[in-house]
Chain A
Amino acid sequence: MKMINSLLISLQTNIPTPVPKDLPLPLPLPEWLLIIILVISFLAHLVFVNLMLGGTLLTLWSQIKGLKDKKYDLLAKEIASTITVNKSIAVVLGVAPLLSINVLYTVYFYSANALTGLVWIAVIPLVTIAFLLTYLHKYTWKVFENNKAVHISILGLATVILLFIPFIFLTNINLMMFPEKWAVVKGFFNAMMLPNVFPRYFHFLFASLAVTGLFLFWYMSRKNYEFENLLPGFTRYDIQRKGYSLALIASICQMLIGPIVLLTLPSKGMGWNLILIIFTGVAMAIPAMWMMWKGLQASRENIGKNFYKVVILMSITVVFMGSGRQIYRANALEPHQKLVKLRTEEFEQTRKIAIENSKNQISDENNTDMSLAEKGKKVFNQYCAACHKPKDRLVGPPVTEMVAIYKDDVEAMKKWIKNPGKKRADMTQMPGFPQIPDDQLNELTEYILTINN
Chain B
Amino acid sequence: MDFPMFHLDWLNNRMLIAGIATLHVIINHGLAVGFIPLVTWLEQKGLRRSGTNQITDLEWDEKVYKMMKVAFIITTTIGAMTGVGIWFSASLISPSSIGSLIRVFYWAWFTEWIVFVTEVILIMIYFLSWKKSNSSLRAKIRHIRFGWFLAIASWITMTIIVAILGFMMDPGNWNSNPNLINGFTNPLYLPQLAFRTPMAMLMAGVFGLLLATIFTKYGTKIRQDAVKSISKWIILWAPFTLFGAVWYYKAIPEGMTANMSTAVGTMDFAQYYGLLKYFIIGGVSLSVVIAVIGLFKAKVIRPYMVVLPVVFAFAFLGFFERVREFVRKPYVIGQYMYSNLLLEEDMVVYQQDGILKHATYTSVNEVTDDNKLEAGKNIFMLACSRCHTGQGVNSVVDVFERMYNNGQPLHVDMMTAYIPNMHFGRNYMPPFPGNEAEAEALAIYIRHLQDSGESIEGVQTEGVMINSDYTVKAVINKQNKTNDNEDDK
On A, residues with C-beta under 8 Å from B are: 1, 4-5, 8, 11-12, 16-29, 84-85, 88-89, 91-96, 98-99, 102-103, 106-107, 109-111, 113-118, 120-121, 123-125, 127-128, 131-132, 135, 180, 182-188, 336, 339, 342-343, 347, 350-351, 354-355, 357-358, 381-383, 385-387, 394-395, 426-435
* Chain A, residue nearest B80 (CB): A91
Chain B residues with a Cβ under 8 A of chain A: 1-6, 16, 20, 73, 76-78, 80-85, 87-89, 91-92, 95-96, 98-100, 102-104, 106-107, 109-110, 113, 116-117, 120-121, 124, 128, 261-262, 265-267, 343, 345-346, 348-349, 352-353, 358, 360-361, 402-405, 414, 417-419, 421-422, 424-427, 458-468, 470-476, 479-480, 483
Contact present for B117 and A102 (CB under 8 Å): no
A114-B472 contact given A124-B82, A385-B417, A432-B267, CB 8 Å threshold: no
Contact between A11 and B99 (Cβ–Cβ < 8 Å)? Answer: no
Task: Report the separation of the CA atoms of residues A428 and B402 in the bound assembly, to the nearest whole angstrom.
Answer: 8
Q: Report yes or no: A1 in contact with B479, Cβ–Cβ below 8 A.
A: yes
Contact A115 B352 (CB under 8 A): no
Q: Is the CB of B349 within 8 A of A12?
A: no
CB distance from A431 to the nearest CB of B (A): 5
Chain A residues within an 8 Å CB radius of B360: 18-21
On whether the beta carbons of B473 and A115 are closer than 8 Å, the reply is no
> Which 4 A-B pairs give the minimum distances between C-beta atoms?
A117-B460, A20-B2, A28-B106, A110-B95
Contact B116 A131 (CB under 8 A): no
Tell me, rounded to whole Å, the shortest Cβ–Cβ distance linking B105 to chain A: 8
Please determine whether B78 and A128 come into contact, CB atoms closer than 8 angstroms. yes
| A residues in contact with B460, CB < 8 Å | 114-118, 187-188
Distance (whole angstroms) from the CB of B407 to the closest CB of chain A? 13
- Choose one: B77, B128, B461, B473; the contact of A132 (CB below 8 Å): B77
Most A Cβ at <10 Å: residue of B458, B467, B470? B470
**Provided the pairs A102-B99, A113-B92 are in contact, do residues A395 and B267 lie with their beta carbons within 8 angstroms?**
no
Partner of B80 from the list A25, A92, A103, A431 (CB cut-off 8 Å) is A92
Question: Contacts A99-B102, A114-B92, A387-B418 hold; do A19 and B463 have CB atoms under 8 A apart?
Answer: no
Tell me, in angstroms, the Cα distance from A87 to B164 when the chains sit together: 27
- Name the CB-closest residue of B to A112: B4
Residue of B95, B461, B462 contacting most chain A CB atoms (<10 Å): B95
Q: Chain B residues near A121: list those with CB within 8 A.
A: 16, 85, 88-89, 92
Decide: A354 and B348 in contact? CB cutoff 8 A: yes
The CA-CA distance from A336 to B360 in the complex, in Å, is 14
Given A88-B124, A115-B460, A351-B345, 10 more pairs with CB closer than 8 A: A5-B476, A16-B466, A18-B470, A18-B472, A84-B76, A98-B84, A354-B353, A394-B417, A429-B267, A435-B265
Asked whether, in the complex, the Cβ of A435 is within 8 Å of the Cβ of B403, the reply is: no
* A residues in contact with B465, CB < 8 Å: 183
- In the complex, A95 Cα to B85 Cα: how many Å? 11
- Inter-chain contact B84/A95, CB cutoff 8 Å: yes
Please state if B81 and A351 are interface contacts (CB–CB under 8 Å): no
A29 adjacent to B106 (CB under 8 Å): yes
Contact A386/B95 with A107-B2, A120-B88 known, Cβ cut-off 8 Å: no
Instruction: Please name all residues of chain A whose beta carbon is closer than 8 Å to the beta carbon of B1 when the two chains form the complex.
Output: 20-21
Q: Are A25 and B425 in contact (CB under 8 A)?
A: no
* Known contacts A432-B265, A433-B424, A434-B265: A182-B78 contact under CB 8 Å: no
Which B residues are in CB contact (< 8 Å) with A395? 403-404, 414, 418
Do A17 and B472 touch across chains, with their CB atoms under 8 A apart? yes
Cα-based distance from A336 to B100 in the complex (angstroms): 21
Q: Are the C-beta atoms of A186 and B462 separated by less than 8 Å?
A: yes
Cα–Cα distance between A342 and B477 once the two chains are bound (Å): 13
A-B contact pairs, 19 of them (CB 8 A): A16-B466, A16-B473, A17-B466, A19-B360, A21-B1, A22-B2, A89-B121, A95-B84, A107-B3, A110-B3, A110-B99, A117-B92, A121-B88, A124-B81, A131-B81, A183-B465, A351-B349, A354-B352, A386-B425
Closest Cβ–Cβ distance, residue A178 to chain B (whole Å): 12
Distance between Cα atoms of A18 and B91 in the complex (Å): 19
Q: Are B100 and A95 in contact (CB under 8 A)?
A: no
Query: Are A12 and B472 touching (Cβ within 8 A)?
Result: yes
Instruction: Please give the distance in Å from A35's CB to the nearest CB on chain B.
Output: 14
CB-CB < 8 A to A347: which residues of B?
Answer: 349, 358
> What's the nearest-Cβ distance from chain B to residue A25, in Å?
4
Question: Is the pair B262, A435 in contact by a Cβ cutoff of 8 Å?
Answer: yes
Contact indicator B353/A433 (Cβ below 8 Å): no
Contact B6–A114 (Cβ < 8 Å): yes
Structural contact, A428 and B98, CB atoms closer than 8 A: no
A186 to B461, CA, bound (A): 6
Instruction: Specify which chain B residues have a CB less than 8 angstroms from the CB of A183 in the assembled complex.
Output: 463-466
A91 vs B79: C-alpha distance when bound (angstroms): 11
Contacts of B91 in A (CB 8 A): 102, 109-110, 113
Q: Could you say which residues of chain A place their CB within 8 Å of the CB of B4?
A: 111, 114-115, 182
| Chain B residues whose CB sits within 8 angstroms of the CB of A4 once the complex forms | 476
**Contact A27–B103 (Cβ < 8 Å):** yes
Among B73, B117, B472, the residue within 8 A (CB) of A19 is B472
Give bound CA distance, A383 to B426, whole Å.
10
Q: From the candidates A26, A111, A131, A185, name the one contacting B3 in the complex (CB within 8 A).
A: A111
Chain B hits for A23, CB < 8 A: 96, 99-100, 103
Known A18-B470, A92-B116, A185-B463: A339·B475 in contact at CB below 8 Å: yes
A345 CB to closest chain B CB, in angstroms? Answer: 11
Q: Are A26 and B425 in contact (CB under 8 A)?
A: no
Which residue of chain A has its CB nearest to the CB of B75?
A88
Collect the chain A residues with CB atoms within 8 Å of residue B472's CB.
Answer: 8, 11-12, 16-19, 180, 336, 339
> Whose C-beta in chain B lies nearest to the C-beta of A24?
B343
Q: Which residues of the other chain, A, contact B418 by a CB distance below 8 angstroms?
A: 386-387, 395
Q: State in angstroms the CA–CA spacing of A4 and B419 once bound together.
A: 43
**Which residues of the partner chain A approach B424 to less than 8 Å between Cβ atoms?**
382-383, 386, 433
